[in-house]
Amino acid sequence: MDARHLLTCAHVVHGCSDLTVSFVQAGRGDLQNIPVDVSHLGPWRSPGDPGDIAVLELPDKVDLSPARFSLRPDITAELNAHGFPKDAGPFGSALGLRVTSSHGIGEWLSIEATTGHAEFPRKGFSGSGVYEENSGEVLGLVSDASPEASRRTGRMIPVETIRRHWEDFDDLLDLPWLPREARIRLRAIVGAAVPETGLAELVAGVFPGTPRPRDLHSPWDAVRFVAEELRVELPLDDRLTRIVTALSTRLTGPGVRTGLAEWLGTTRSAPPASAFFLSHCEEDAAYAGRLGEHLRLHGVPVSHDGISRALGVIVLVSPEAERSGRVIGEVLEGQRHNRRIIPVLLRGEPLSILGSTRHFDARDGALPDEEYLREPPQAPRPLPRPPIRSTPATGTAPIRKLTSLLDDRALEHADLWTTTLLLDTAGRLGTGWMRRLDGELLPYGLLEEVDAVWARALDGTQGFGTQLACYDGPPPGTPAGHAGDFFALADALGWRRDRQATPRYGEFVPAGPLPTGFFPTLRNPQLEHHRGWHDQWRQTAMAVHLRLRKNPRMGTRGGRR
């Protein structure tokens, strides 16, 4: 895992003394039969118990590259494990396997051998890392095999479970919700603390109206839950500030409260968000006034500035709003900052750029209440009357809009508009993402127009043609359109920097110079409030790029075709 620590299963070292490890693949005599100590054991005590985790510590650092870990098991990926059954010889044996379902059974995932005539899960593979063949990322550990060898199945402990049983593991992971240094400092402070009250009750009190959390095992587990699992429409910074502030009053231990106060002072400089941003055109000002007063009477503050710090963006939707550059710009800005967008339909049809977001039906003058604004976002559902239709974008207006955004150097707005335009053309605006067959509906001419606008505005450094010049197909042995193809594309275009976990859109675009071919990213921040958004982005990107690769007129920029 790092220069001094290794990960295996607790049952592998149970009852053993004088433990040694060998790095047989390194081909170096100084890395064989090294004595190790067990520095951490999970709660496992007998077969079937949870927490089958052991951390081993080397006496000195070794100069080998540590494993990279992924929190996102991909059931479509080609997976492998390297184990040491007794009959496999000193260099062990490779096992090809797949995850049978992304839904866990207890704290495990089920695995099976990929073929019926080669290696299969059995004794000797326990503690082996399960890794993705193309990226090399480790997804977990093989823990056990079926007692019936003919079934060729077993179980693995995913990275998410390992984190639960060994919190120090988080220091080695790339978690997008807090910079690594700040996260390590915070975990060190709360790791030495003792809570004065139940942690689940504490979280429920800090975030009223949310369901009671699962059992929380430590103050750090409470922080992780708020950052990663809590379904509440507050910006991430605000959620972290609120839970750390609450912990600073309920934890005891030497220097804990002082340390948390200092951490908040140096890390959380911005005040928490406190109001919804209200976006509307002049024609809808009367309803906006009624809505603002109604919400304030019910304790919901409303503002007309500060989208980046807003609780969410309420958008009044009408034909006039559809034509308003300011309203569309405010929606794009809200998406850029990963704010929840809450459309309120006054007249006409849903806002085209928000086709995959549920609209509140206010065509009879109804006003949304506090409960509606604060409830978790849901998938779109049909409005009761009249039928709402979405028609593909036609004509030159969408391209003129894209040109205008790029002329103004509003790159992220132009990126989101590009995604909207392609989804609309493929008839997938209502779902917010594309499948491979949807990509076949994208006209070559439209893709070429979009590419030309991006290339002209940014001197040929961005656009689909540049992306194809950077990456025009999967490496040998990787099926086109599969996960390995996408990850190689993402690496080539700078979408995965150092193969770290992909952050939400608000933190996704680099602050410095753009990697060549970074835009268009084909991301849809509306989906990022729901589980599974990363897989939907992957499928959308692959749908478009598989279509691009078929166009003989694309990809000439840079000389790759």
What letter does residue 396 receive in the DSSP assignment? S
**Alpha-carbon gap, residue 230 to 312, rounded angstroms:** 16
- Has residue 393 got a pLDDT over 50? no
What distance, in Å, lies between the first and last C-alpha atoms of the chain? 41
Q: What are phi and psi of 436, to 5 degrees?
A: -60, -40
Average pLDDT over residues 513-527: 92
Please report, rounded to a whole number, the percentage of residues in the chain having pLDDT higher than 90.
Answer: 50
For residue 36, what pLDDT is reported?
95
Give alpha helix (H) positions in 269-309. 285-297
Q: Between residues 375 and 38, which one has the greater pLDDT?
A: 38
Q: How many CB atoms lie within 10 A of CB 366?
A: 10
Query: Using a CB cutoff of 8 Å and minimum separation of 24, what contacts does 366-372 make?
Result: 367/290, 367/291, 367/294, 368/291, 368/314, 368/342, 368/344, 369/298, 370/295, 370/298, 370/299, 370/300, 372/342
Cβ-based neighbours of 397, under 8 Å, separated by 6 or more: none
| pLDDT (tens digit per residue) in 89-121 | 999 999 999 888 877 888 999 999 988 888 999
For residue 119, what pLDDT is reported?
92
Q: Between residues 502 and 461, which one has the greater pLDDT?
A: 461
What letter does residue 177 receive in the DSSP assignment? T
| Band (511; pLDDT cuts 50, 70, 90) | confident
**What's 315-380 look like in SS3?**
EEECHHHHCCHHHHHHHHHHHHCCCEEEEEECCCCCCHHHCCCCCEECCCCCCCCHHHHHCCCCCC
**Alpha-carbon gap, residue 221 to 179, rounded angstroms:** 17
- Has residue 423 got a pLDDT over 70? yes
| Band (376; pLDDT cuts 50, 70, 90) | very low
- Has residue 554 got a pLDDT over 60? yes
- Has residue 362 got a pLDDT over 90? yes
Q: What are phi and psi of 248, to 5 degrees?
A: -65, -20
pTM of the complete model: 0.54
Query: Do 35 and 59 meet the contact criterion of CB atoms below 8 Å apart?
Result: yes
Cβ-based neighbours of 399, under 8 Å, separated by 6 or more: 449, 450, 453
Which residues is 142 bridged to in the sheet?
A: 156
The token pair at 367 is: 């006003």
Directed axis angle between helix 256-267 and helix 236-250, to 10°? 160
| Band (387; pLDDT cuts 50, 70, 90) | very low
- Has residue 270 got a pLDDT over 60? no
| Band (74; pLDDT cuts 50, 70, 90) | low
Q: How many CB atoms lie within 10 A of CB 191?
A: 14
Please report, rounded to a whole number, the percentage of residues in the chain having pLDDT higher than 70.
Answer: 90
Q: If you count them, how many residues does the chain have?
A: 561
- Has residue 531 got a pLDDT over 80? no
| Band (75; pLDDT cuts 50, 70, 90) | low
| Band (5; pLDDT cuts 50, 70, 90) | very high
For residue 395, what pLDDT is reported?
55
| pLDDT (tens digit per residue) in 221-243 | 999 999 999 988 777 888 898 89
What letter does residue 108 receive in the DSSP assignment? B
Determine the distance from the C-alpha atom of residue 382 to the mean position of all C-alpha atoms in its chain, rounded to a whole number: 28
For residue 73, what pLDDT is reported?
62
Which residues is 99 bridged to in the sheet?
A: 111
| pLDDT (tens digit per residue) in 276-327 | 899 999 999 999 999 988 887 777 778 777 787 777 899 999 999 988 888 9
Cβ-based neighbours of 460, under 8 Å, separated by 6 or more: 466, 557
Average pLDDT over residues 520-545: 88
For residue 377, what pLDDT is reported?
46
| pLDDT (tens digit per residue) in 429-487 | 888 899 999 999 999 999 999 999 999 999 999 999 999 999 989 988 889 998 889 98
Secondary structure class of 301 (helix, strand, coil): coil
Query: Do 540 and 433 meet the contact criterion of CB atoms below 8 Å apart?
Result: yes
- Percentages helix, strand, coil for the chain (3-state, rounded to 5) are 40, 15, 45
Strands 54-57 and 79-83: unpaired
**Alpha-carbon gap, residue 6 to 66, rounded angstroms:** 9
Instruction: Indicate the residue type of 415.
Output: D
The closest of 239, 240, 257 to 248, measured between CA atoms, is 257
DSSP letters for 158-175: EHHHHHHH-GGGGGGS--
Which residues is 361 bridged to in the sheet?
A: 345
Buried/exposed 42-71: b ≥16 CB within 10 Å, e otherwise: bebeeeeeebbbbbbebeeebeeeeebbbb
Per the prediction, the chain carries an average pLDDT of: 86
For residue 46, what pLDDT is reported?
92
Output the CA torsion sign for 120, 122, 125, 126.
Answer: positive
Give alpha helix (H) positions in 107-214. 159-165, 180-191, 199-206
Average pLDDT over residues 150-170: 93
For residue 115, what pLDDT is reported?
83
For residue 274, what pLDDT is reported?
60
Secondary structure class of 16 (helix, strand, coil): coil
- Has residue 389 got a pLDDT over 70? no
Identify the top-confidence range among 149-163, 393-407, 491-505, 523-537. 149-163
Q: How many CB atoms lie within 10 A of CB 476?
A: 5
**Alpha-carbon gap, residue 238 to 270, rounded angstroms:** 9
Is the previous residue joined to 520 through a cis bond, with omega within 30 degrees of 0?
A: yes
- Has residue 21 got a pLDDT over 70? yes
**Alpha-carbon gap, residue 338 to 79, rounded angstroms:** 32
For residue 173, what pLDDT is reported?
87
The closest of 471, 412, 507, 486 to 174, measured between CA atoms, is 507
DSSP letters for 504-519: PGGGTS-SSSPPTT--
For residue 200, what pLDDT is reported?
92
**Alpha-carbon gap, residue 154 to 144, rounded angstroms:** 6
Instruction: Give helix then strand counts, H and E, for the chain.
Output: 18, 18
